Structure 1
């Protein structure tokens, strides 16, 4: 290909500017449409991830108690309080640190997860769980069942770090507050009380409540709803550690009895739980069943979105090819004249490819700019009332793929009529067209 071919191609485009403008406009509209549709489909996926991607992606894990303590003899219980592990318990004590930290009132008090008794584990182990790639957030928790000796009231207390996301999903969140104020890491000595427990015991914000002979101010009342952990009282982790130490034989040393966890999304929730089971060597997990239908819905939606996008892209590419095909077929007679006066097929093919390349590149670039402008300016999130920016789905790689597809489709479409023309004599085209 030489400069003369390029000059002839540009002259042809300039002389027939209406046809050139029509072809470029067709490319621009097609590419812009595909980019906007692709962005809308991706946006729908983003919105769906926001709506149901985090459904049921939380769980709690623990190490179950070393066995039924009621089966131990008085001598074994006395030794257990001193840290002497009975023979029947030794096989089950991996990762446990609490054999010498049993409660004084071992029949009524102890470390629990809701109604099940648990062992202690180190916060270092919780940090190892947090290091798993499949988990989004992890937080250690202390949950202890107390008995008030003055009135024999039995209640459960959870010590948490309220700023952790895993606490919000598994135990209590600011949104659960129905009266008063929430826990604040900067304000120790305060508790929040589950509203049902508060009603049954006549408790209100501002009142005092005694835990292990230490008084706490009730900051607020909460309705925690359906969550894995359902304690009666929630306080800061450090406060819980302090009051629990008053009720056990030896003080806690960077220990917890429950690990609160949140996985990245519903589709990876099962893997996250399996990773935790493998690390802790336990099957004791408490979660919801919501993640399973959510993960199925996300998987189905994802396949449908990409499948529909592929259909739209192929249809748009075929439309772009049809534009170029029509532009070449329209010139059959002119091309036949050029062949009749001695132009070689090679020169004609190069000229048509140059014209097609110029029109497809310019039209596709204009289409990319128009599509990107529409995506940026349209307030889709405001119109739908969804907190997700449309600009986040403007994918440069996807735009580049659409651009290349459109250009290649135009080039291929310009070749087909040329090859068809090459198989006939110029006289046949002059008679027919």
Structure 2
């Protein structure tokens, strides 16, 4: 039997101890993989939501007001002013009001140019886009399902019949139950052609959105303010960093617990094989070879644990993630991290027992019963 096969088979001579060690380490690996997948999924979902359609941030009124967002409306001329700021590539005004829609006394109606809906984080799942200045609307998929609406149906908006020409999907839960129509139509309903609620802003390629937002604040901060994905991203980044820190904390705990478990297992192995180690020394095995054997056996257990734990973590998270409204995202880095931790645990856990085995005097070991 080769030395490598000897190392691979040796840990399983004591099956119960090996299984217990594998289970203990597996639990840590499962947690590491699961947390990694969920964290990446949350990051991916958040970035998709923030950057969907390419809107980097938006502009709204400075003071508290009676608009749907709780701020005052701003003059429509701000669209052109913001569009001329250095670093801004595209601007899109929107007009949001609360008005009677269908059976709802107050419902969110959002006015936007038909070609600007991509900046509002919506995409059509059926039907077509509304025409400009027409009595046509598109409704959120959630709103359509809740009210049993479909393309071709009529929907009463502020006492006027509008045709539903499309149903949209969105990554923004605030818009999932809203209704979109032409901005000119919303201005007509609200009897105000000179005001808007917000301006979506897309910065030019290579520009830093934060710097562009700061530039706008510096020039026009007395009249308008940026309420943007930048602010949201900073808040969410803090939350995600906390989650990642927790993940690394759990990883560290897994290393400590796993190392203690494998140390105990390998120490028992050395204790039970004291005479065997003495025989190996007596027949000429070097201390280095015995040390390699013990550490190798420890690595066999932890690497096997990493394989099993990674598979279980992947399967469990994939199945349970959607139930938590999270789509897990697994990258090679997650599994590399799991295996690196397993290897570290294997080396740490096997090194101390290996040193103990090396220090055993052959004559004492041979007399051990």
- The answer to whether the superposition gives a TM-score over 0.5 is yes
Alignment map for 1:31-110 (pairs within 5 Å): 31-41=29-39, 57-59=57-59
Query: Structure 1 residues 317 and 375 mapped into 2: Cα distance closer, same or farther (>3 Å)?
Result: same
Offset at residue 373 of structure 1 (A): 0.8
> Contact 1:336–1:429 at 8 Å: present in 2 too?
yes
Match of 2:116 in 1: 164
In 2: Cα distance, 1:234 partner to 1:164 partner:
10
Query: Structure 1 residues 10 and 289 mapped into 2: Cα distance closer, same or farther (>3 Å)?
Result: closer
Match of 1:180 in 2: none
Which of 214, 218, 239 is the matching residue for 1:274? 214
In 1: Cα distance, 2:228 partner to 2:352 partner:
54
Query: Structure 1 residues 325 and 432 mapped into 2: Cα distance closer, same or farther (>3 Å)?
Result: farther
> Contact 1:139–1:260 at 8 Å: present in 2 too?
yes
Query: Structure 1 residues 310 and 348 mapped into 2: Cα distance closer, same or farther (>3 Å)?
Result: same
Unaligned runs of 5+ in 2: 62-71, 96-109, 138-157, 165-173, 175-181
Query: Structure 1 residues 60 and 284 mapped into 2: Cα distance closer, same or farther (>3 Å)?
Result: farther
> Contact 1:53–1:298 at 8 Å: present in 2 too?
no
> Contact 1:35–1:368 at 8 Å: present in 2 too?
yes
Match of 1:416 in 2: 352
> Contact 1:32–1:368 at 8 Å: present in 2 too?
yes
Match of 1:311 in 2: 249
> Contact 2:60–2:73 at 8 Å: present in 1 too?
no
Match of 1:396 in 2: 332
Q: TM-score of the superposition, structure 1-length normalised?
A: 0.51
SS of alignment partner, residue 23 of structure 1: helix
> Contact 2:18–2:301 at 8 Å: present in 1 too?
yes
SS of alignment partner, residue 343 of structure 1: coil
- Aligned length in residues: 290
SS of alignment partner, residue 160 of structure 2: coil
Q: TM-score of the superposition, structure 2-length normalised?
A: 0.58
In 2: Cα distance, 1:34 partner to 1:114 partner:
48
Match of 1:357 in 2: 299
Instruction: Give me the CA root mean square deviation.
Output: 5.2
Match of 2:286 in 1: 344
Match of 1:139 in 2: 92
In 1: Cα distance, 2:263 partner to 2:134 partner:
79
Unaligned runs of 5+ in 1: 62-112, 132-137, 143-157, 175-182, 193-202, 207-217, 226-232, 245-256
